[in-house]
Amino acid sequence: MARSVVIVTEGLDHGPATWLSSRARIEQCSPQDPSFREFADLAEGLIVRTYTRVDHHLLARLPTLKVVGRAGVGLDNIDVRACRERGVEVVYTPDANTQAVVEYVTSLLCDALRPRLVLPGPVSTERWHELRREVVAERQMDELTLGILGLGRIGRRVAEVAAAIGFRVRFNDLMPVDRLGPTAAEPVDVETLFAESDVISLHVDGRASNRRFVDRRLIALLKPDAVLLNTCRGMVLDHEALAAHLAANPGSQALLDVHDPEPPTEDNPLWSRPNAHLMPHLASRTRRATENMSWVVRDVMAVLEGRPPRHPAPLDAS
């Protein structure tokens, strides 16, 4: 029996790629590659990461497609409804990078709130004592309120870690509180979250209704020394409004790992703000997390072999 053809557009980790290649024929190419046309008529599987958009246009080029695998957590780049209308299943890896992102958020909290200095070499006794006077945190974490926007897998885990450190933790989520179950955080309305939190960490998904959800109105509610962390989606933030807030409040900070678009363009107003810190989308970049995401190949093969996948995409994800 001929093996199914699976197109991989952005690469897989070695272990999952080897596993898949023993069960299917892998063709590595992006939709922009000339070779994509050669394999598109044969492909029953398509595996993407972050930068391949799966929509009506791409689906039209893949007449025999049965399954799309998103090697990652978000489904922003997959039109799940369009796939299902074509009879194409969508699978993903919803818990693959939770630990990695939570570790990264914790690191950002320390970067923002606990200044550190590495000695360049031996220093005099006088300079030693000067440094100990100069490098002093203004605030301790157990004096602060951490607000979490979005209490999904990552937001919930951030709440647990922050509460263990000593933060007072509050959250706001679209899901009714009685459906969220026990949590380390206190529910509040979104206006209270932004007005009363010392630190805000964003953990919402990429559904269309979340575009610019953190808008000028919410940003205007922030405390003048608030810290804003974004490790979810660049599109949830109004960057112009955030830049204006940072300019008017030099004691505030924004630590942004995600952007819209990526990479951020030269005209992004946040480049000119010294209290804005832009990073190249690193939150999920651990060896374990990237491998976990690549194991979407298991669900891809499950669909191709006629078995139910472990993680089908929810229809409301896109």
Are residues 106 and 92 part of one domain?
Answer: no
Q: What is the pLDDT of residue 112?
A: 97
DSSP letter assigned to residue 76: T
pLDDT tier, 53 (very low <50, low <70, confident <90, very high otherwise): very high
Are residues 192 and 295 part of one domain?
Answer: no
Are residues 115 and 82 part of one domain?
Answer: no
12-16 contacts at long range (C-beta below 8 A, 24 or more positions apart): 12/47, 12/71, 12/294, 12/297, 13/290, 13/291, 13/294, 15/291, 15/294, 16/291, 16/294, 16/295, 16/296, 16/297
155 Cβ partners below 8 Å, 6+ apart? 148, 149, 171, 173, 201, 203
Within a domain: 74: yes
25-32 contacts at long range (C-beta below 8 A, 24 or more positions apart): 31/58, 31/61
Within a domain: 44: yes
Q: What is the pLDDT of residue 68?
A: 98
Are residues 158 and 37 part of one domain?
Answer: no
Are residues 181 and 60 part of one domain?
Answer: no
Q: Tell me how many domains the chain contains.
A: 2
Are residues 126 and 194 part of one domain?
Answer: yes
Are residues 302 and 233 part of one domain?
Answer: no
Q: Give tens-digit pLDDT for 191-217.
A: 999 999 999 999 999 888 999 999 999
Within a domain: 283: no
Please indicate whether residue 74 or residue 224 has the higher confidence score (pLDDT): 224
The rounded Cα 175 to chain-centroid distance in angstroms is 19
151 Cβ partners below 8 Å, 6+ apart? 159, 171, 172, 173, 175, 180, 183, 185, 203
Q: Give tens-digit pLDDT for 130-152.
A: 999 999 999 999 999 999 999 99
pLDDT tier, 175 (very low <50, low <70, confident <90, very high otherwise): confident
Are residues 109 and 81 part of one domain?
Answer: no
Are residues 123 and 29 part of one domain?
Answer: no
pLDDT exceeds 90 at position 16 = yes
pLDDT exceeds 70 at position 1 = no
Are residues 124 and 67 part of one domain?
Answer: no
Within a domain: 207: yes
Give the Cβ contact number of residue 227 at 10 Å: 25
Tokens read off for 222 = 């922030």
Q: How far apart are CA 282 and CA 256, in angstroms?
A: 10
303-310 contacts at long range (C-beta below 8 A, 24 or more positions apart): 303/45, 303/66, 303/67, 303/89, 303/91, 304/4, 304/6, 304/24, 304/44, 304/45, 304/66, 304/67, 309/67, 309/89, 309/91, 310/91
Within a domain: 204: yes
pLDDT tier, 292 (very low <50, low <70, confident <90, very high otherwise): very high
Q: What is the pLDDT of residue 61?
A: 97
Instruction: Tell which phi-psi region holds residue 137, choosing left (phi > 0), alpha (psi between -120 and 50) or beta.
Output: beta
pLDDT tier, 317 (very low <50, low <70, confident <90, very high otherwise): low
User: In terms of residue numbers, what domain contains 134?
Assistant: 99-278
Within a domain: 153: yes
pLDDT tier, 103 (very low <50, low <70, confident <90, very high otherwise): very high
Average pLDDT taken over every residue of the chain: 95
8 A C-beta contact, residue 20 and residue 300: yes
CATH number, domain at 31? 3.40.50.720
Q: How far apart are CA 79 and CA 75, in angstroms?
A: 8
Q: Give the active site residues.
A: 233, 262, 281
Within a domain: 52: yes
Q: What is the pLDDT of residue 182?
A: 81
Q: What is the pLDDT of residue 206?
A: 87
Are residues 312 and 300 part of one domain?
Answer: yes
Within a domain: 164: yes
**Mean predicted confidence (pLDDT) in 245-265:** 97
Are residues 297 and 165 part of one domain?
Answer: no
Give the Cβ contact number of residue 210 at 10 Å: 19
Q: Give tens-digit pLDDT for 87-99.
A: 999 999 999 999 9
Tokens read off for 192 = 């209270």
Rounded to a whole number of angstroms, the CA Rg of the chain reads 22
Q: Pairing mode, if any, of strands 168-172 and 186-187?
A: parallel
